[in-house]
Amino acid sequence: MSPRSKCSMLVTISILSLAILFSCASRKITDQVTPEERMDIALKWFNNGHYLDARTQFRILTLSHGGTHLADKAQFYLAECHYSLKEFILAANEYERLLKVFPNSDYVDDAKFRLGMSYYKLAPKFSLDQEYTRQAIQIFQEFLEEYHNSDFADDVELYLSKCRQKLARKAFVAAVQYRKMSYYTASTIYLNKVLEQYYDSNFAPRAQYLLADNYMHLKEYEKAKEEALTFLEKYPQHDWSDRAGDLLEKSEKELEKQAKTQE
């Protein structure tokens, strides 16, 4: 590297270092500011995306001014900082604290929605443990009961549906895996779970058909007939309606054979 290039690099590094120092200095607050001034500054930093600095100031407000009119607002935005930083477990804890300590706050519906979203964000892919998904469902259901007129209601219904779809998929995939191993009784348990708990999911029609098919494999032809008829009644326009029709015919033929052997 030439001396001129080295010099240019040093100048650039010096400028960047100074910029960082001035930036950090600009985000320091003296102890003399009022709670209102601290709140204004923290909100400004939050809105500008400086979540770490804003988080510190909101934390100070919750600890030092917990009995003031700013307490619930500071608590909410403290949780929001964690949420924006994708610290969803910490965010959930702070939203829950607001709901418990400030039940009459103007931020309760916002906090309840964000609490559900925190659990939603924490949930892993469907094949793994879905405890967080179940927690999200509980919070979203409570939200719709308590704040059904909220502006967030439509979003809550959307994410509630996504959570239910996820659990339905988990049960449906388990049922299919058991079918592949010819464990039709075990498969039937999971298919019934889809139909009873997630009847409004996209997996319900296929679960209904496979349930009928499972009973055919188990040679429980009366049940197979009933489930095939249920499919045709509930999903007459479904892509699998022809399959269900064929299954119905097969079950009826098997029942006729049984009837003849009993004569």
Q: What pTM value is reported for the model?
A: 0.83
| Tokens matching residue 219 | 């040679």
Contact assessment for residue 54 and residue 27, using Cβ atoms and an 8 Å cutoff: no
Name residue 111's amino acid. A
Percent of all residues in the chain with a pLDDT value above 70, rounded to a whole number = 88
Tell me the C-alpha distance between 36 and 123, whole Å.
Answer: 37
pLDDT above 90 for 260: no
pLDDT for residue 30: 67
| Confidence at residue 131, expressed as pLDDT on a 0 to 100 scale | 98
Tell me the average pLDDT across 112-118. 98
What pLDDT shows up at residue 41? Answer: 97
In the 8-state DSSP scheme, what is residue 105?
-
Amino acid identity at 237: Q
Residue 48's pLDDT is 98
pLDDT digits (tens, 9 = 90+) for 159-173: 999 999 999 999 999
Residue 26 backbone dihedrals phi, psi, to 5 degrees: -70, -15
261: pLDDT confidence band, cut at 50, 70 and 90?
confident
| Residues across the chain | 263
pLDDT in tens, 33-74: 899 999 999 999 999 999 999 999 999 999 988 788 999 999
Average pLDDT, stretch 15-29? 43
Among candidate residues 176, 169, 115, the one with its CA nearest the CA of residue 143: 115
Give dist(CA 68, CA 78) in Å, integer.
Answer: 16
**Which residues, 6+ apart, have CB-to-CB distance to 164 below 8 Å?**
137, 198, 200, 201
What would the pLDDT profile of 223-253 be if each residue is shown by its tens digit? Answer: 999 999 999 999 999 999 999 999 999 999 9
